Structure 1
Amino acid sequence: YMIDAHWGIELLAATPFEHEVKLKGTSLGSAANGKLGTLKHLPPTLSVVYYPLDSKSDFQPYLGAGINYTVIYDEHVGS
């Protein structure tokens, strides 16, 4: 959302990411293959962005800062 010609607010939202958590260099055996478990996370980010050039410019650099709160859920720990 553009507040005016130079300032904007952005909300980055995504579908949840799923990750496998593994441990390298262990002797957990070939069955476990170092896998500790899985988890999902959702990282919404709210940013304030400054665009120094005219909005009709072909080149549009920007400077931004934001805050993120990552929610981790649906954790599964292996044996």
Structure 2
Amino acid sequence: MSSSQVADVRGAEARAARQQEGSGGGSISPMHADTHTDASPAVETPAEGRQGFLGMPVLAVLVGSLLLAGIAWLIVHYAVG
């Protein structure tokens, strides 16, 4: 490994340490933009490598879109039929 790669790995490890849970299993602070490495391949922490968040907001969007599609289908069904 070159010295720049070692520095990137150390930087990623330092960011990962800051992104860990608080003592006693406390909550993690909200995500915010971090400085990222431009190494190839990228050296990222697990939190930085995550594509997005799952949970209730994603479920609400999926259920809401399904309901809107159903309403649109009913409108078209009764308007044409």
Q: Which interval holds the TM-score relative to the shorter structure?
A: under 0.3
**Greater fraction strand:** 1
Higher RCO structure (Cα 8 Å, ≥6 apart): 1
**Greater fraction helix:** 2
Q: Which has the greater radius of gyration?
A: 2
